[in-house]
């Protein structure tokens, strides 16, 4: 079933807690963006903060970091259901996949807009999901890069069993329609929800587009 997944990108524990409280009871999945100031310039709130916050979500942890393996134990501790790391940020993906096998969460990789699909073919037996990042990672509120749609179509043609997500810049009804028609299973939305005066109303409006 195609769906909308709210995203939270913040450097404030108070802001994270506030947004999770707003989402409580209104969505099953929430993506938490983690940034280390190295892979992307920005730094997010520490992932460990989630241990003291709401645990009634299925968390997708999006690791925009250079050393994803060092975050995996914390991902498990906070109850992550899916962990995604950027293939561009590591020198030895095999090591990360080996470490991931120690834990119960789903394994995924994220691709920046300029990254080619050849890398996916190499690792597709190792992953449960693939996240197409449709902006340059690290900041919310950027414009959607439409060339990502062609990659989604191409991957869906030769792989039907990998969960496909799109993350970044999708706010207009036509963009949602194109992403799902291309083969995406879910679309991650951050600023399109949080810039609204009523985030839940904004979420419901987006969900109505895909039902």
Clarify whether 58 is annotated catalytic. Answer: no
In angstroms, what is the C-alpha Rg of the chain? 16
Output phi, psi for 7, to 5 deg: -115, 145
Q: What is the largest CA-CA distance in the chain?
A: 44
Clarify whether 15 is annotated catalytic. Answer: no
Task: Pick the catalytic residue from 56, 167, 185, 198.
Answer: 167
Please, where are the H alpha helices in 7-87? 13-23, 72-77
Which DSSP state fits 199? H
Task: Pick the catalytic residue from 15, 33, 36, 198.
Answer: 33
Rounded to whole angstroms, the Cα distance separating 107 from 101 reads 8
The residues annotated as belonging to the active site are 33, 167
């Amino acid at each position: 079933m195609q769906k909308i997944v709210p995203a939270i990108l913040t450097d404030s524990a108070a802001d994270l807690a506030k947004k999770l409280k707003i989402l409580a009871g209104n969505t099953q999945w929430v993506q938490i963006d983690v940034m280390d100031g190295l892979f992307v310039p920005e730094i997010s709130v520490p992932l460990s903060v989630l241990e003291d916050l709401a645990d009634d979500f299925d968390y997708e942890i999006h690791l925009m970091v250079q050393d994803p393996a060092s975050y995996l134990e914390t991902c498990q501790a906070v109850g992550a259901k899916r962990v995604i790391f950027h293939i561009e940020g590591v020198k030895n993906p095999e090591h990360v996949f080996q470490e991931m096998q120690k834990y119960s969460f789903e394994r995924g990789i994220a691709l920046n807009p300029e990254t080619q699909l050849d890398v996916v073919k190499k690792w597709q037996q190792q992953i449960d999901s693939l996240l197409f990042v449709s902006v340059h990672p690290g900041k919310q509120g950027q414009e959607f890069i439409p060339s990502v749609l062609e990659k989604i179509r191409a991957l869906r043609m030769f792989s039907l069993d990998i969960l496909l997500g799109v993350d970044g810049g999708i706010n207009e009804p036509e963009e949602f329609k194109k992403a799902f028609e291309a083969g995406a299973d879910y679309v991650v939305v951050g600023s399109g929800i949080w810039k609204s005066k009523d985030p839940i109303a904004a979420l419901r409006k987006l969900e109505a587009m895909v039902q």
